[in-house]
Amino acid sequence: MRELRLKARAKINLTLDVTGKREDGYHLIKSIMQTVSLYDGIYMKRIRKNEIIIKNSLPWLPTDNRNLAYKAAELMKERFDITEGVYIEIDKRIPVAAGLAGGSADCAAVLVGMNRLFGLGLSMKELEHLAFLLGSDIPYCVQRGTMLSEGVGEILTPVKCACPMCYVVLAKLPVSVSTAMVYSGLDWKGLKNHPDTEGMIQAMAEKDITKMGGLLANVLETVTIPMYPKIAQIKEEMARLGAEGALMSGSGPTVFGLFKEEEDAKQAATSIRKKFGLKEVVATRIYHVNEGKRGEDGNG
Ligand code: ATP
């Protein structure tokens, strides 16, 4: 295969709990992660010259080894003695440093893409192991779907009943949040409320979107919301506009709202964009991994 196109999809955290801290300083999490339809377009092509060329649609995003897509290509070339080069184009549509794992999704897509382009024959499990070398959300982005993520993100258990289809409004404040800074500011021992992870899994099994909305919870809000109180205002506005529930995704600052009807989600997106003067507001939906065409979307 000489060239291919992939869709690197964003994720939201329906619940995010922190249950401890490892000796190396990494926090132990328990989170239900869910893929949404919003994606970065990834085009990859083999080139004769032994180099990695990255082009992306955002001029300020690095194209060298600070870009996670570059790191993924570099790792695969080194591990598997690939002496040909690769050209990668990223059409960046997922907001950056937003809590939506956009960089991790690009990275995972390039791991998958290198596997296919160079006919490496690696299994999903092998790809996940390589992914974990590059970042804690990346194994999830290789797998995707509805997953319970534990440990530091490396223990992934598929949630049996997939998330029911619903519509998701993503609204990002024009600030970048550093994930490391948010975790270091978290008083995890002092947390009074923990998400009801099992309750959320049950609500998904019952396909009860209203119940799911009531159970959305993320302990990292205790750090990010005091820094950016507008996050709480956007959550309130989402609820006022008919969302079943709203929550900050990951370490923020993106807020997502869950809606039963597509039209309501679209109208809420328009209204929030206007009211808060935000540029990055997207109406998207839950993405089920088995709906994608293998080849363009399948990660296997
Ligand atoms: P997570 O939810 O995994 O913490 P995030 O959505 O908060 O991720 P990203 O969009 O992945 O954050 O970006 C985090 C940082 O990674 C940014 O500061 C950016 O400069 C860097 N980065 C490296 N490669 C990429 C990429 N391909 N796309 C976006 N950001 C990238």
Instruction: Say how many Å lie between the CA of residue 282 and the centre of ligand 1.
Output: 18
How far is residue 96's CA from residue 75's CA, in Å, rounded to a whole number?
Answer: 23
Whether residues 119 and 213 share a domain: the answer is no
CATH of the domain at 22: 3.30.230.10
Supply the pTM of this predicted model. Answer: 0.95
Question: Is there a domain that residue 239 lies in?
Answer: yes
Question: Is the predicted pLDDT of residue 290 greater than 90, yes or no?
Answer: no
The answer to ipTM > 0.90 is yes
What residues act catalytically? Answer: 11, 137
Question: Is the predicted pLDDT of residue 261 greater than 70, yes or no?
Answer: yes
Range of the domain at 24: 3-159
Whether residues 109 and 228 share a domain: the answer is no
Question: Is there a domain that residue 190 lies in?
Answer: yes
- 297 close to ligand 1 (CB < 6 Angstrom): no
Query: Residue 221 CA to chain centroid, in angstroms?
Result: 17
pLDDT band, residue 297 (cuts 50/70/90): low
Report yes or no: 29 and 147 within 8 Å, Cβ to Cβ: no
- Give the helix ranges, DSSP H, for 80-178: 102-117, 124-134, 138-143
Q: What is the dihedral of CA 270, 273, 275, 278, to 10 degrees?
A: 180
Domain count, the chain: 2
How far is residue 5's CA from residue 113's CA, in Å, rounded to a whole number?
Answer: 8
Instruction: Say how many Å lie between the CA of residue 227 and the centre of ligand 1.
Output: 20
pLDDT band, residue 293 (cuts 50/70/90): low
Would you state the pLDDT for residue 1? 84
Whether residue 95 is annotated as binding a ligand: the answer is yes
Phi/psi for 281 (5° steps) reads: -130, 125
What letters, b where the CB count within 10 A reaches 16 and e where it falls short, cover 107-117?
Answer: bbbbbbbbbbb
pLDDT mean over 223-241: 98
Q: Which two tokens stand for residue 248?
A: 């900050």
Question: Is there a domain that residue 42 lies in?
Answer: yes
Whether residues 205 and 136 share a domain: the answer is no
Strand pairing report for 217-218 and 3-21: parallel
Whether residues 155 and 270 share a domain: the answer is no
**Residue-wise pLDDT tens digits, 11-59:** 999 999 999 999 998 999 999 999 999 999 999 999 999 999 999 999 9
Whether residues 71 and 121 share a domain: the answer is yes
Q: Which of 101, 136, 159 is the last residue of a domain?
A: 159
Whether residues 153 and 119 share a domain: the answer is yes
Taking CA atoms only, the protein residue closest to ligand 1 atom 30 is 103
Find the length of the chain: 300
How far is residue 213's CA from residue 210's CA, in Å, rounded to a whole number?
Answer: 5
Whether residues 55 and 90 share a domain: the answer is yes
Taking CA atoms only, the protein residue closest to ligand 1 atom 8 is 101
Whether residues 75 and 122 share a domain: the answer is yes
Question: Is the predicted pLDDT of residue 296 greater than 80, yes or no?
Answer: no
pLDDT mean over 252-257: 97
Of 182 and 290, the structure prediction assigns the larger pLDDT to 182
pLDDT mean over 100-129: 97
- Which one-letter DSSP state was computed for residue 166? -
Distances (CA, A) of 130 to 53, 75, 78, 241: 21, 8, 12, 42
Whether residue 162 is annotated as binding a ligand: the answer is no
Q: Which of 159, 182, 201 is the last residue of a domain?
A: 159
Pocket test for ligand 1, best of 60, 90, 96, 177 (most atoms within 8 A of CB): 96
Whether residues 136 and 186 share a domain: the answer is no
pLDDT mean over 74-101: 97
CATH of the domain at 196: 3.30.70.890
Whether residues 152 and 174 share a domain: the answer is no
Distances (CA, A) of 297 to 61, 216, 289: 24, 28, 8
Taking CA atoms only, the protein residue closest to ligand 1 atom 28 is 103
Would you state the pLDDT for residue 294? 55
Question: Is there a domain that residue 298 lies in?
Answer: no
Q: Which of 98, 125, 159 is the last residue of a domain?
A: 159
pLDDT band, residue 295 (cuts 50/70/90): low
Question: Is there a domain that residue 297 lies in?
Answer: no
Whether residues 130 and 174 share a domain: the answer is no
Whether residues 144 and 231 share a domain: the answer is no
Find all residues with CB under 8 Å of 93, minimum gap 6, and list them. 38, 39, 40, 41
> With pLDDT > 70 as the criterion, what percentage of the chain qualifies?
97
Find all residues with CB under 8 Å of 277, minimum gap 6, and list them. none
Question: Is there a domain that residue 227 lies in?
Answer: yes
pLDDT mean over 115-125: 97
Would you state the pLDDT for residue 137? 94
Question: Is there a domain that residue 105 lies in?
Answer: yes
Question: Is there a domain that residue 19 lies in?
Answer: yes
Q: Of 175, 185, 163, nearest to 288 (Cα)?
A: 163
